Amino acid sequence: MELIINSPLDMHLHLRDADMLNKVAPLSSHSFAGAIIMPNLAPPITSLQALKEYKKRVQESIADDRFEPLMTLFFRNDYDFAFLQEAKRHISAIKLYPTGITTNSEGGVKSMDIEDLRQTFEAMSELGIPLLVHGETNGFVMDREKEFGSVYEQFAKNFPKLKIVMEHITTKHSVDLLDRYENLYATITLHHLHITLDDVAGGMLNPHLFCKPIAKRPQDKEALLRVALSANPKVMFGSDSAPHPRDKKESCGCAAGVFTAPIALQALAALFEKHGVLQNLQPFVSDNARAIYYFEPIKKEVILEKKPFFVPSSYRGVVPMFANSTLDWSIKNIT
């Protein structure tokens, strides 16, 4: 059995910088036609100069030119119309992080008061720049995303022309918001379609599945599966693939993030086939994103086949999800 995916897109990707960039960018560029590149470097990308330089480093590190890095700025509420008008030529979106909520988010937004954000949000609305949000409060770990729901609602109601993407959603509550606000969209990761907190801490502790937002309850995972497997047009695949060196994951006080980029398409094909909805993989990993971002990707065909794929224990020192296990689907060819 084979399945051709036209121009798969990863709408939420961490490539990091320097050595790590050189390790992981080739892997994403191999099997995807483009990806939204997260701006939370240290320091974060907040100027066009830094953005252009980072894009150049990304382009130099990729293995296949048929991969478009869709660049993003790290949100600041002092971005004004003139700056954003210029920025629009170079970016696909702007990513908002509440301060201190995840890796390299220390420079993020302190206040979610819409009056503090109005100038920038209005300019983004007018210019058609999507707002990507890491939607968590600093509350109890299992409640952080749900608590942030009221912020999403404030944003959606007060800025109806702003396209808002709830990044890497993990709860039924967030899924339900998609139906209630026309301008709310979401990315969903591979790992949140597979795991709950049980997989992280229900048996032995598994640092390789520790991520932010943390995996939630079985009913949350079911809600995510429902909209992903049905290729609901408001959801897109975004791996949130977040590489950390093995020693940073396996040492005491491990860093958050699951590395899925090189195995994502194979694992998604297996998941969608298992549920009998292989035909919905194309919209989930590409078409929905094109429609939401008004974007035409580089042409690239990834031919998947139902043939065992043994996931290696690591890719250049970075441990992937499903390491040392076998997936039912593999990549046959890329044309």
Q: Give the C-alpha separation, 157 to 144, whole Å.
A: 21
Active site (annotated) includes residue 240: yes
Question: Helix, strand or coil for residue 168?
Answer: coil
Closer to a copy of itself by CB, 50 or 255: give it: 255
Q: In what order do the strands lie in the sheet with 9-13?
A: 9-13, 34-37, 68-74, 93-96, 131-133, 164-166, 184-188, 235-237
- 150 touches a copy of itself by CB under 8 A: no
- 276 touches a copy of itself by CB under 8 A: no
- 82 touches a copy of itself by CB under 8 A: no
Q: In what order do the strands lie in the sheet with 301-305?
A: 2-6, 301-305, 330-334
The distance of closest approach from Cβ of residue 175 to a copy of itself in the complex, given in angstroms and rounded to an integer, is 18
- 218 touches a copy of itself by CB under 8 A: yes
One-letter amino acid of 17: D
- 324 touches a copy of itself by CB under 8 A: no
The distance of closest approach from Cβ of residue 16 to a copy of itself in the complex, given in angstroms and rounded to an integer, is 18
**Distance between the two ends of the chain, CA-based, in angstroms?**
18
Tokens representing residue 300 in the block: 């690239």
Closer to a copy of itself by CB, 89 or 140: give it: 140
Tell which one of 42, 63, 205, 303 touches a copy of itself (CB under 8 A).
Answer: 205
Residue of 10, 240, 247, 287 with catalytic role = 240
Tell which one of 43, 128, 202, 317 touches a copy of itself (CB under 8 A).
Answer: 202
- 198 touches a copy of itself by CB under 8 A: yes
Tell which one of 252, 296, 308, 335 touches a copy of itself (CB under 8 A).
Answer: 252
**What angle (nearest 5°) sits at the alpha carbon of residue 53, between those of residues 256 and 34?**
60
Residue in this structure with the two tokens 């954000």, named with its chain if needed = 117
Q: Which is it for strands 164-166 and 184-188: parallel, antiparallel or unpaired?
A: parallel
Q: Give the C-alpha separation, 134 to 115, whole Å.
A: 19
- 253 touches a copy of itself by CB under 8 A: yes
- 200 touches a copy of itself by CB under 8 A: yes
Q: What is the set of active-site residues? A: 240
- Binding residues vs a copy of itself (CB under 8 A): 140-142, 196-198, 200-202, 204-208, 210, 214, 217-218, 249-256
